């Protein structure tokens, strides 16, 4: 199985690149952000709980997102592999993911980490906020909080995967196509 963690700060291009990779490598796309936004749209109890947290730019609880990923893995028993987009975001989530995959006799193949400077992230997210309607993209102080959450709780996970010799860092500035080529070349050499 090919199991990829697509990693990077908010706005780095994780969702954008995941959409290209799922077609090329025939993988199942698991985006915790998309799943949570789906729950909000459907008006579920979980969605109501997550909405206020996401609108502030904070991270949703580990318990909720780990439960979501666990059930999605169970629902796709015959997949070629998965792209984890926006998950894991904390040490607890990374440990839980290793355990869930090991229970299924598989593991993470690689973490692909997109590197983009803060000024570009803010520019991209504010631009998306103008037409996406996403509350967390509209306001610069909420975007700053998301970047802060990433630096404090999520960026340290690079060390977790580097220790397993699974980390590849990729420059995330440039055209979507050029970045996709760089990701493809790392994946093809795994």
Rule CB under 6 A: which residues touch ligand B4P? 10-16, 32-33, 36, 53-54, 57-60, 65, 86-87, 89, 93, 124, 128, 136, 146, 176, 179
User: Is 146 one of the catalytic residues?
Assistant: yes
Measured CA distances, 4 to 15, 19, 31, 67 (Å): 13, 13, 12, 19
Q: Which residue has the tokens 């909405």?
A: 51
Q: Look up residue 145 and give its two tokens.
A: 């909080």
- Between residues 31 and 165, which has the closer beta carbon with respect to ligand B4P? 31
Residue 127 CB, shortest distance to ligand B4P, in Å, is: 6
Residue 47 CB, shortest distance to ligand B4P, in Å, is: 12
- Between residues 112 and 124, which has the closer beta carbon with respect to ligand B4P? 124
- Between residues 65 and 83, which has the closer beta carbon with respect to ligand B4P? 65
- What is the set of active-site residues? 14, 89, 128, 134, 146
């Amino acid at each position: 199985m090919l199991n990829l963690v697509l990693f990077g700060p908010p706005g780095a291009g994780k969702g954008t690149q995941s959409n290209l990779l799922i077609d090329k490598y025939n993988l199942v796309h698991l985006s915790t952000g998309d799943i949570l936004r789906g729950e909000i749209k459907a008006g579920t109890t979980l969605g109501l709980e997550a909405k206020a947290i996401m609108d502030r730019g904070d991270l949703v609880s580990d318990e909720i997102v780990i439960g979501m990923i666990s059930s999605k893995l169970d629902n796709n028993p015959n997949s070629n592999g998965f792209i984890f987009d926006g998950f894991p975001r904390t040490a607890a989530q990374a440990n839980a993911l290793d355990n869930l995959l090991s229970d299924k006799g598989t593991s993470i193949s690689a973490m692909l980490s997109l590197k983009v400077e803060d000024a570009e992230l803010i520019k991209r997210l504010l631009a998306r906020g103008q037409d996406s309607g996403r509350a967390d993209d509209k306001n610069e102080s909420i975007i700053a909080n998301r970047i802060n959450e990433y630096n404090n709780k999520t960026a340290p996970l690079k060390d977790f995967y580097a220790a397993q010799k699974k980390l590849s860092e990729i420059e995330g500035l440039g055209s979507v196509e050029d970045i996709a080529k760089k990701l493809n070349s790392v994946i093809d050499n795994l």
